[in-house]
Structure 1
Amino acid sequence: MELNQLPCVLLLISNIHSGDTEDNPKASVRINPDQHVFRGESVTLRCDINAEAVSSWQYSWYKEGSAGVFGFLQEYTLLSVTESDAGKYSCSGTESKSSRRSQMSDAVLLTVSGEDFSISDRAQTALSVSPQNWLTEGDSVTLICEVYGSSTGWTFNWYMLTLSDNSDHYKPLSDSRGAGGKYTVSSVALKHTGVYVCGAERGKPAYTIEMSNTQPLWVTGVSPPVSLVISPSRAQHFTSASLSLSCEDKSNSTGWRVRRYTDTSGLKNCSPQTGSTCTISLITSDTGVYWCQSESGENYNPLNITVHSGVILESPVHPVTEGDPLTLHCLYKSTTPAKLRADFYKDGSLVQSQTSEMIITAVSKSHEGFYYCKHPEGESPKSWISVRASGSDSQISVFNILCSGLAACPYLLVTVVLIVKCCRM
């Protein structure tokens, strides 16, 4: 062959190769509901060949590491998968009329997690709140439910925990099913106060995941009909001390109960309780949120209380009005009620050194912030001191931040209108 004929030959080969590619379309694999599934779910493998009609192809399924073909339909379903079903799957097809064959698909990996895996591999739902847990009437809030390690095809179910015979029960939210992974209340009311959980399911038959962690929502009203009065009147308390909480109704009606929610015991009655008054001897696990609940289930005046051993900061439970005086004391359990000579801090900066008390003769908005005291015996938790404008007739509950050096600080009050965030120390 002469050299000047070579380009023509190469062009001919190129055209033949191009024609072969067009005549042999490539197959592709899809896995439903997801490539990452959990043991017990049903999984469907689907083979598509350039989206051509199903009737014109015959299919072959392959699994890496297994001999031969294991299926011949376009869709192949694995019922109640186990870890042994995990692996790489591929498919190909043959057109029944022309015997044309497709190219083999790329292998697609199916991952199966089971209960014998580490906890991070199990099917779990996680519930979070945006923007915060503490709200005032009219605020907007969104509950967000997610499944660890998987985000495809889930239907979410939403519930509020209710208390009956001092045991938790799930009450479905009637307007929430099918709302996806988010449940939004655009304008919260007192009735939305409560503890929420979510669940998830997908597939047919449905594969259901256990309930999520709990998330409380605390909604305060501008003119609540009842006040939660505590004695001693502060949010930081010593272990083994006695604490009295009482629901005082302006109309003197009865039927109020003190409820509480803690990380250790969840939603419970405050006990022991006589009428609308609860008196307890405090232990660390009593740290949590306490509020008044009516006979009809309405919730008012939630208050965050932390129980701590050692040094605490004695600060007001309620907001301080501009122009009023403010006195802070540093207390130590072994010397109560004696006041300690201690250093006082605001927002991490030293503001007063080695005094038995810190006095502000007339507070202003600039005094708002996080306060704590430090003494050789220890350091107190932090408390948020809220300052409201003089002449304000709004009745706003105050929630102190009590970051006592424990593993978690559950609530963070950020502004005078109770913008509260979760924090981790």
Structure 2
Amino acid sequence: MKLCQLPLLLLLISNIHSGHTEEIPKPKVTIKPDHPVFRGETVTLRCDIYDGVPSWRYNWYKGHSSMVFSELQEHTFRSVNESDAGKYSCNGTETEGSRRSQRSDEVTLTVSVPRAVLSVSPQKWLTEGDPVTLICEVNGSATGWTFSWFTKTVSGSRNDYELLSDSSRGAGGKYTVSSAALKHTGVYVCRAERDKPPTYTTYSNTQPLWVTGVSPPVSLIISPSRTQHFSSVSLSLSCEDQSNSDGWTVRRYTDSGRLEDCSSSVWGSQTGSKCTIRTTDPLDTGVYWCQSESGENYHHVNITIHIGVILESPVHPVTEGDNLTLHCVYPYASPPKLRADFYKDGSLIQKQTTEMIIPTVSKSHEGFYYCKHPESGESPKSWISVRVCVCVSFSGSKISVLHILSSVLAACPYLLVTVVLIYKCCRMRGKTYD
């Protein structure tokens, strides 16, 4: 028998011997609010004894402890935290008598840390002009929250959060961009608050958005030229523009959520606009891109480092109408190009071939591809995007407008020189006739 129950038993025996058989009252405990609460919120416990006695002195207990931590009928936690969570009960003693009540049933106080969860719709890989919505939610609580939006930034070797200048337009939990631009590329997080004094959630999980331009001013050149690479090899990434400028930095966002520069890291070294990863590791898996000195981001490429089988696929988007060739490669096989099955978006599209070729690519061929070998295993998935071709038709054949424009621009200097020479020649002839 517990010692805390002995006075109650003696009181019961005394009442029986003296002829008193009235029932010993049992308090009822209520808790407000009566649902799980978040750290920092206010919670009130109340002990009620319904016996007609005008005045009681109350005792509060936590768990199985016999230690009284409060003697008020209502005990309030002004800013509750995780250590306050637990089971609570109370009893009472008459202030003008000798009776003591029973101990109440226990009520449970649950305290959790409010956590923001960030998602994106419809997808994180975008082309200029696409719509996208970031959605911020608080687990376990749907109402009363106001949301703030941030982008993740690099400060030396540390990651910081920068409040978006138009953060308030996403205060309802949805931050919508009707027409994505290159400037919307970034790594986003959100946070929520409610009540006064405010209760804050943790910063959410990170959510990147990658916006691809139609004609980026710089290309990320990867050597070897593929998006999936073996572990424990060297990998080279360089930013190349038309002026051969060195004002570019290779930056990456890894699957572990780190935003890093090649020039200020231990994973690689940068010379000019070229970054070299000396020995690849699965932790190097992530999105890589080129960043200008003024902060613009261009040409994002998802690179996967894998120990086993890889899919050999093109780094850059495939132009509509071109051929797409895929290989399944394993470094420990001879030959390394395997005879394997190829899949798109989880569906088998070609069985047991060393080379899968789609002769005329269309937008419908866009998707996630991977390969599988019965003995060597399965490759990671790679997204293959298809660039829509803006073409003109001549006698049944299609010629890209971009190709025509580039040819014209390449020929412009020669045309200009020719025009100047003809003009000078005509002037000289005119003088001769005079």
Give the TM-score band, short-chain normalised. Answer: 0.5 to 0.7
TM-superposition CA deviations, 1:370-425 (whole Å, max 9, x none): 44333222222233444445445699xxxxxxxxxxxxxxxxxxxxxxxxxxxxxx
Q: Gaps spanning 5+ residues in structure 1: where?
A: 1-28, 46-62, 89-109, 115-120, 396-425
Question: Could you tell me how far 1:152 is from its partner in structure 2?
Answer: 2.8
Q: For the structure 1 residues 112 and 295, does the alpha-carbon distance in structure 2 shift closer, same or farther, using more than 3 Å as the test?
A: farther
C-alpha contact (below 8 Å) 2:228/2:306 kept by paired residues: yes
Residue equivalent to 1:202: 194
Q: For the structure 1 residues 78 and 277, does the alpha-carbon distance in structure 2 shift closer, same or farther, using more than 3 Å as the test?
A: same
Q: 2: CA distance between counterparts of 1:249 and 1:260?
A: 19
Q: 2: CA distance between counterparts of 1:188 and 1:134?
A: 11
1:170 partnered with 2:175: no
Q: For the structure 1 residues 378 and 154, does the alpha-carbon distance in structure 2 shift closer, same or farther, using more than 3 Å as the test?
A: same
Question: Could you tell me how far 1:142 is from its partner in structure 2?
Answer: 1.8
Q: 1: CA distance between counterparts of 2:44 and 2:127?
A: 47
Residue equivalent to 2:380: 381
Q: 2: CA distance between counterparts of 1:367 and 1:141?
A: 22
User: In the alignment, which of 110, 113, 116 is matched to residue 113 of structure 1?
Assistant: 110
What does 1:385-396 align with in structure 2 at a 5 Å threshold? Answer: 385-391=384-390
Q: 2: CA distance between counterparts of 1:189 and 1:367?
A: 25
Q: For the structure 1 residues 113 and 198, does the alpha-carbon distance in structure 2 shift closer, same or farther, using more than 3 Å as the test?
A: farther
TM-superposition CA deviations, 1:4-53 (whole Å, max 9, x none): xxxxxxxxxxxxxxxxxxxxxxxxx9968x944223323589xxxxxxxx
C-alpha contact (below 8 Å) 2:115/2:202 kept by paired residues: yes
Aligned-partner residue type, residue 173 of structure 2: G
TM-score, normalisation: structure 2: 0.64
Residue equivalent to 1:279: 276
Aligned-partner residue type, residue 379 of structure 2: S
Question: Could you tell me how far 1:241 is from its partner in structure 2?
Answer: 1.9
Residue equivalent to 1:40: 40
TM-superposition CA deviations, 1:127-147 (whole Å, max 9, x none): 111221112222222222111
Q: For the structure 1 residues 153 and 384, does the alpha-carbon distance in structure 2 shift closer, same or farther, using more than 3 Å as the test?
A: closer
C-alpha contact (below 8 Å) 2:341/2:348 kept by paired residues: yes
C-alpha contact (below 8 Å) 2:85/2:110 kept by paired residues: no
Q: What root-mean-square deviation, in Å, do the aligned CA atoms of Structure 1 and Structure 2 show?
A: 3.7
User: In the alignment, which of 218, 230, 234 is matched to residue 222 of structure 2?
Assistant: 230
Question: Could you tell me how far 1:351 is from its partner in structure 2?
Answer: 4.7
User: In the alignment, which of 162, 165, 173 is matched to residue 181 of structure 1?
Assistant: 173
Specify the structure having the higher radius of gyration (Cα).
2
235-244 or 366-375, which moves further after superposition? 366-375
Aligned-partner residue type, residue 270 of structure 2: Q
TM-superposition CA deviations, 1:160-218 (whole Å, max 9, x none): 11111131111111221372222222222222211111112222222222211111111
C-alpha contact (below 8 Å) 1:309/1:333 kept by paired residues: no
Q: For the structure 1 residues 206 and 371, does the alpha-carbon distance in structure 2 shift closer, same or farther, using more than 3 Å as the test?
A: closer
Q: Which has the higher helix share?
A: 2
Q: For the structure 1 residues 277 and 326, does the alpha-carbon distance in structure 2 shift closer, same or farther, using more than 3 Å as the test?
A: same
1:161 partnered with 2:152: yes
Q: 2: CA distance between counterparts of 1:245 and 1:143?
A: 30
Question: Could you tell me how far 1:274 is from its partner in structure 2?
Answer: 1.5
| Percent of aligned positions that are identical | 66
SS at match of 1:41: coil
User: In the alignment, which of 207, 211, 216 is matched to residue 215 of structure 1?
Assistant: 207
SS at match of 2:244: coil
Question: How many residues are matched?
Answer: 323
Question: Could you tell me how far 1:343 is from its partner in structure 2?
Answer: 3.4
Residue equivalent to 1:296: 294
230-239 or 270-279, which moves further after superposition? 270-279
